[in-house]
Amino acid sequence: MKTSIPHIASNTFREAVRDRVLYNLIAFALLLSGAAILVGQISIEIEKLVVINLGLTAVSLFGVVIAIFIGIGLVSKEIEKRTLYTVLSRPVRRWEFIIGKFFGLAGTLTVNTFFMAIGVFAALFYVSHRFVRADALIFVALYFIILEFLIVCSLSLLFSSFSSPLLSAVFAFSLFVIGSFSDDLRNFAGMAHGVSRWLATGAAYLVPNFSAFNVITSIAHEQPVAGQLILQNTLYALFYAAMVLSGAVLIFEHRDLK
Amino acid sequence: MSPELVMPSIEILGLEKTYQVGFWRRRPKQALRPLHLQVEDGEIFGFLGPNGAGKTTTLKLLMGLIFPTSGSARILGREWTDPGVKAQIGFLPEQPYFYDYLTAQELLEYYGQLSGVPGKQRRHRIGQVLHQVGLRDVQGLQLRKFSKGMLQRVGIGQAILHDPKLVFFDEPMSGLDPMGRREVRDLMEQLKHEGKTVFFSTHILSDAEALCDRVAIIHKGEVLRVGAVDDLTSSVRGKVEVIWQGTQIPASIKALGAECHVTAEMVRAILDEKQQDAAIDALRRDRLRLISVTPVRTSLETYFVEKLRHAETSAGSIAGGV
Ligand SMILES: Nc1ncnc2c1ncn2[C@@H]1O[C@H](COP(=O)(O)OP(=O)(O)O)[C@@H](O)[C@H]1O
Ligand SMILES: [Mg+2]
């Protein structure tokens, strides 16, 4: 079966590249090399800790910001500028458009993360002059970060399919922050009573569980990641993103274009 | 004749659109009354009406960009929602806008892919179309640097790129200089010549008059008349112009209620078509030399204004009667 998804995805990627999104890599490189040089005076163990912690946190934050800022415009901007008219009047189904946009954005972030990862490893090599086996754990952390991006991308797209970029940004950032503290939310739900317990439990299970994706601190301390967590996070991210995308498709399928 | 040959290109079966307007107190606004319309295969059909009449709404409904309150349509013999239909139609939106980070060439490449035009054929067609709409020299320029008129050309290019059987143009001449309008007109005639059906909307009557096999006149969401330009215009007045030599006006012709203008060596009389034979007989009786008899055609412009004024007053009287 012929589908437009790859064409839409690659055009989305091209747009991001031409809008100079990848320029963020320069800021990232500056940040990382600055940090590496600054901590260069301290003992090797601490240096590594700082570089991994700071490097991976930056990879995650830069990516989330990009995912939200591109994602929130992906649908609403095309409706606003009416670029969609000449796309949807072709043999392109609306769900293909959403899914294509998702893959385009996810692809952009993956490429971006790939370059950042090179930066992290380079900084690591700069401070410790060699790689050890435990450094392979960084790949797991990067993988989790990408899984996290998939969820953020899907959420931005969902908001973009029914609200303005500004509101979408607010929604997406709020969800990201709440999701990052979802562990605390769950703890709170466990302690609360009555209605607030209900609400907190509902919220805790509805918001994306980003806490589970954050293994940066533990791998910086060379603690291994359980295989089960990898599997669990993979399934969770795919399921969550798929659900959110279905919602986006459902909304967009029935929407009048301006 | 095989049934395929007589199949209409577009059948609009009571499409209707009511928008909900207002933020706090939502109230309905009927943009399109139930519309019935049939466009035949191979014709240039003009969808004519002033701003706000519902032309764009109709086209967006047909393209599946908005959803009807009720009704349906068939395009090229299939349900209009059938995805297969979309590969065979082209659409030029009103004041089109495109991905401005792409060049004209890249945009057409992308749209060719979306329309499922195979690779080799696609490259060939893109070259052809860029030439046809006069954008060959700027094909490598990003669209953000394009003027409105150039974007209109890109819009036409993308609409005909995949060699569709049927094209929908929303105000194709707007934003173009006289040269550009002329080119668009020629292009539409070319498309018709290639056996394609052209459905275009306009509020500019002269464009429709020169081009269309048939027009529909739409006003405030309602189609007032559908017909050939000739029929619509001549049927209103049904006057003829009779010219004969000399300066003499037979009394019997005056009696017919003719409006006569005498010049140096001839008389021009405008009278009802029905009186034409009587007038010619009168001239023959008086042995006057007839020069010509021609139907006087009201221009579409006059017709349009009259029709709309009529619609306005009858709507007013309905409202007044309630
Ligand atoms: N999205 C919308 N929401 C509310 N009203 C609309 C919308 N789009 C069009 N209309 C109204 O519907 C009517 C028909 O508009 P349109 O189809 O654009 O007219 P035309 O293309 O003939 O100029 C107008 O009165 C317009 O104000
Ligand atoms: Mg319009």
Residues B113 and A92: their CA atoms lie apart, in Å, by 10
Helices (H), B200-274: 205-211, 229-237, 251-255
Helices (H), B161-261: 178-193, 205-211, 229-237, 251-255
- In this prediction, residue A200 carries a pLDDT of 82
Chain B environment of A81 (Cβ under 8 Å): 97
Of B210, B199, B129, the residue nearest B169 (C-alpha): B199
A82 touches chain B (CB under 8 A): yes
Residues A141 and A108: their CA atoms lie apart, in Å, by 19
Of B37, B33, B11, the residue nearest B227 (C-alpha): B37
- In this prediction, residue B23 carries a pLDDT of 80
Whole-number Å distance, alpha carbon B48 to ligand 1 midpoint, is 15
Q: What is the DSSP letter of B299?
A: P
Q: Which of A14, A89, A256 sits opposite B67 (nearest CB)?
A: A256
On whether the CB atoms of residues B235 and B302 are closer than 8 A, the answer is no
Residues B207 and B229: their CA atoms lie apart, in Å, by 12
Residues B58 and B233: their CA atoms lie apart, in Å, by 24
- In this prediction, residue B298 carries a pLDDT of 64
Residue pLDDT, tens place only, A81-97 = 999 999 999 999 999 99
B254 vs A149, higher pLDDT: A149
Residues B57 and B316: their CA atoms lie apart, in Å, by 24
pLDDT at A258 > cutoff 90: no
φ, ψ of residue B15 in degrees (nearest 5): -60, 135
Chain B environment of A7 (Cβ under 8 Å): 110, 113-114
Residue pLDDT, tens place only, A37-56 = 777 677 767 888 888 999 99
Q: What is the DSSP letter of A255?
A: P
In chain A, where the domains are located: 5-253
Residue pLDDT, tens place only, B66-89 = 999 999 999 999 999 988 899 999
Instruction: Name the 3-class secondary structure at B71.
Output: strand
On whether the CB atoms of residues B295 and B239 are closer than 8 A, the answer is yes
Look over chain B and give the mean of its residue pLDDT values, rounded to a whole number.
88
- In this prediction, residue B237 carries a pLDDT of 58
pLDDT at A13 > cutoff 50: yes
B93 touches chain A (CB under 8 A): yes
Q: What is the DSSP string of B47-64?
A: EE--TTSSHHHHHHHHTT
Chain B environment of A75 (Cβ under 8 Å): none
B172 vs A190, higher pLDDT: B172
Residues A21 and A112: their CA atoms lie apart, in Å, by 9
Residue pLDDT, tens place only, B259-317 = 888 888 889 888 888 888 889 999 999 999 999 888 776 666 666 676 777 767 665 44
CA dihedral B109, B169, A83, A171 (to 10 degrees): -150
A45 touches chain B (CB under 8 A): no
B113 touches chain A (CB under 8 A): yes
Q: Quickly tell me which residue has 């659409």 as its tokens.
A: B91
State pTM to two decimals: 0.86
Whole-number Å distance, alpha carbon B162 to ligand 2 midpoint, is 24
- Cα distance from A7 to chain B (closest Cα, Å)? 7
Residue pLDDT, tens place only, A165-200 = 999 999 999 999 999 988 888 888 888 888 888 888
CB contact under 8 A, A83 and B66: no
